[in-house]
A and B are shown apart, each in its own frame.
Chain A
């Protein structure tokens, strides 16, 4: 197996009167099709590491490699292109665009990438929505859906451009236990069926239990000895 996402000595420090180190020298290799959970106490730097791995933030030191590419040499636009082509994001709050229908939300990344025709993109969006059991909701707006349905739409949107890696920040943090289990199964299934890599930050023990690997973070450093209290 080859590493699809790597962190090599990644440091993220916020400058200011009192500099704060969010991530401190993290080395990490994540394989293709792997389901990895990043866990740790609140404020330990889990989300910051996820944003760095997801190319939303740029490390103060060290490198992030995506699919073998050293992303430290990329500018803002090139990083945005990599996110568009190779990464998908899921957040704790679904973060769907409220004025757009479910279908339009899923279409957005495909329309931005522009590789598929309008009809093909619609067909793919419909397939994704049906796969996650929300095909009938495609004309609705996010506020007309339940929390679990919204999160499934967010997953469909994250998968729209067939990314190599899905990065999820507390994907079940705002869901009931049934919806959480549903999201967990979907993400677990993705790694097995399509070899999509899933990297998730979570506090949810049952969610983490489904992962191939759990990485503990404490004070911005990897601490695999850490266990949820």
Chain B
């Protein structure tokens, strides 16, 4: 062990009570930092996972980001006359040439895609009517891009293939109308086309709005009902790495021309809220360690005050100012290292206690646990922050000790 380190260690061990108080501050700080940050980070991850799992990573729709430029404006871009209030040509809704575009999208690596035709319809049962979103799907593809199959509580998505007049509805709607498998409902499109359909599946997504209004049928049936033969108006895409969504969406939009919306773009408000939440969380947990660092500052300042004579002696012996500074900085580092190690162990215990807490959300049968982030980053962050706080807290006393002039002290002591 170096000379400065052994002096630093001797200072700390000879003032056990003060050292223990400082250490306790750091240990508690690190433990709470770890428990709170892992809880907050865990809940954030859980939220993001739900967000990513329950929604399409990318949705390509039959829309454009900006209105089409008029042919006249294209032809005479620098023309002296400005043409305004031009009514654009009526577009046939839907993604043109969707099969080729879908083939291109499916050729991209790390993704799965499914075509959809989404429209409105009115569902009638026993004289009661309910407006629903009717989504025409290809069951084999849809299963790859959504959690609908996992969320099906009765029947299955595949049953649509066996029954072209089948419809899959949400649990909310089923409960509202008293529907179950085999019930026949009447589905009416805005154009007036009407068709009786049999309930072949019931899902429960956990979102009341979706469970009451979302319905699925075969793509062909939806095209017929909505009078859009051979058209789809949406591609739903799932990625192997959901965090690549923004880049992949931009690439798809450049290639197919239609608006391609990633979940990141669609959830920007949520994500910025999460960022603010994270800043608040780290500010609060950092405050704990900053308070702890005041304890270290106090301990080391006291040692410096008590040790002025020793500092003068060491300097008269030939110790440099930087040697003296280093002694007190090492004391801060020792407290920081031991405090971090014990604090991480205590924090781990605290996290285990939090993880063992069980609770039930109303309406959900499974027991829930607090979501915790067990990643190494959390431990490293808590330990690093504690160490930085300790070094910062020891810097001022160390600097003061280094600046002490031996003659001033020797004169005072004589």
> Which of the listed residues B11, B13, B14 has the most CB atoms from chain A within 10 Å of its own CB?
B14
Set B312, B316, B318, B322: member contacting A85, Cβ < 8 A: B318
Total A-B residue pairs with C-beta atoms closer than 8 Å? 71
Please determine whether B316 and A83 come into contact, CB atoms closer than 8 angstroms: yes
User: Interface with B: A60-68, A107-115, A221-229, which one?
Assistant: A107-115
The answer to whether A92 and B313 touch across the interface, beta carbons within 8 angstroms, is: no
- With A83-B318, A99-B11 as contacts: A112 and B323 at CB distance below 8 Å: yes
> B319 to chain A: which residues have CB within 8 Å?
80, 84, 112
Q: Decide: A95 near B309, CB < 8 A? Known: A47-B411, A111-B3, A112-B3.
A: yes
B residues adjacent to A (C-beta < 8 A): 3, 10-11, 13-14, 309-310, 312-323, 406-407, 410-411, 413-414
Could you say which of B310, B317, B413 has the most chain A C-beta atoms within 10 Å of its C-beta? B317
* Interface residue tally for chain A (C-beta within 8 Å): 31
Judge whether A81 and B318 touch: CB under 8 Å.
yes
Q: What are some 5 contacts across the A-B interface (CB < 8 A)?
A: A51-B407, A81-B318, A83-B316, A93-B413, A97-B310
Which of B10, B11, B309, B414 is within 8 Å of A47, CB to CB? B414
**A92 with B414: CB separation less than 8 A:** yes
Residue in A80, A109, A113, A157 whose Cβ sees the most chain B Cβ within 10 Å = A80
Output the least CB separation between B404 and chain A (Å). Answer: 12
The reply to whether B313 and A97 contact each other, CB–CB distance below 8 Å, is yes
> Contact between B316 and A56 (Cβ–Cβ < 8 Å)?
yes
Contacting B at CB under 8 A, from A38-90, are 47, 51, 54, 56-57, 76-77, 80-85, 87, 89
Residues of B within 8 A of A95 (CB): 309-310, 312-313, 413
Chain A residues with CB under 8 Å of B310's CB are: 95, 97-98
Q: Rank and list the top 10 A-B pairs by shortest CB-CB distance, nearest first.
A: A84-B318, A99-B14, A83-B318, A99-B10, A111-B3, A95-B313, A57-B407, A89-B316, A80-B318, A80-B320
The digit string for A166-187, where 1 denotes a CB below 8 A from any CB of B, is 0001100000000000000000
B58 → chain A, closest Cβ, in Å? 64
A100 to B310, CA, bound (A): 11
User: Contact at B320–A77, with CB atoms within 8 Å?
Assistant: yes
Asked whether A91 lies within 8 Å of B318 as measured between CB atoms, the reply is no
Which residues in B have their C-beta under 8 angstroms from that of A113? 318
CB-based nearest A residue for B2: A111
Q: How far is B324's CA from A97's CA once the two chains are assembled, in angstroms?
A: 14
- Shortest distance in angstroms between B322's beta carbon and chain A's nearest beta carbon? 8
